[in-house]
Amino acid sequence: MRKVLIPTDFSRNAWDAIAYAVDLFKNEPCEFYILNVYSLADFATDNLMVPQLDSTLVDTFKGNSEKGLEKVLQRLSFRDESDMHSYVTLSQQNDLIVALKEIVESKDIGLIVMGTKGSTDALNISFGSNTVTVMEKIRNCPVLAIPKGTIYTSVSEIVFPTSFKTHFKKRELDYLIDIAKITNAPIRVLHINEGGDLSEEQLNFKSLLEEYFDVLEYSFHFLESKNINEGVELFIQSRDSGMVAFINKKHTFFSTLFSKPLVKELGLKAKIPILALHDFRN
């Protein structure tokens, strides 16, 4: 059974992420873990008049968290009629990253799905600003980020930008291949350069992708541009692509192919889900 972890701060965007995940895997046996973390430290910082965080306040935070999760389950009962889906709610006084790491390990989670923009309510942690951090810090589990207002529709295609300059391991691409099979979406491998032919090394890495994607519909696309970020964005927008996936190479995420501004552009303007895979060798 597929195990999917979805953090929520009870914002609209968090619900959009839950709904997207449920619809994406509507025909797949899934166990969904719905997590809410709350931070007393955040409340103390924002409310300087509170002399101390006593047990009554702790109980209030915990009660609000549990009630919020109950409402999420109630909403899900109205919209999800699949007998292949089950739900587990988790309420924790914790840091979001710490909680996610612990649950991924203890529950053998295969995918994290989360919104890109959270609530700013003081009673709930805002994980919107942490979405990119989650992609960086959670190295042993793919992360699928869902932009605000995104409603699941048939995925037209999945764009996979690559420089062809790094080695691929098949297991790093497993979840991309898995989602492509589930959605019947073709993979569009996108390479953007400033001109010139591929080197012998790049051609070898291209051949590896052909081998890995052999059971899928896929195609290669080459664009010349001096700005990689703009090239990727224009390609996605011009084709109305349904999802973009990339391998998050440790130590190079913000400095090469994908920069933080691009992730924000794709997540908040292009209205397209972003699947962050990981380089397991790092």
Q: Within a 10 A sphere around the Cβ of 171, how many other Cβ atoms?
A: 9
Reported as a pLDDT band with limits 50, 70 and 90, residue 256 is: very low
Q: Residue 282 and residue 280: Cα distance in Å, rounded?
A: 5
Any idea what the CATH number is for the domain that residue 31 is in? 3.40.50.620
Residues 96 and 180 in one domain: no
Of 102, 121, 146, the domain-final residue: 146
pLDDT tens digits along 148-199? 888 999 999 999 998 888 777 888 899 999 999 999 999 999 998 877 789 9
pLDDT tens digits along 164-176? 887 778 888 999 9
Of 85, 118, 146, the domain-final residue: 146
* DSSP letters spanning 83-106: TTEEEEEEEEES-HHHHHHHHHHH
What's the pTM value of the predicted model, to 2 decimals? 0.87
Residues 137 and 260 in one domain: no
Say if residue 263's pLDDT is above 60: no
pLDDT tens digits along 48-66? 555 555 677 888 889 999 9
Q: Is residue 151 in a domain? A: no
Residues 7 and 48 in one domain: yes
Residues 124 and 162 in one domain: no
Residues 72 and 23 in one domain: yes
What are the beta bridge partners of residue 219? 188
Q: What are φ and ψ of residue 237, in 5° steps?
A: -70, -40
Residues 131 and 265 in one domain: no
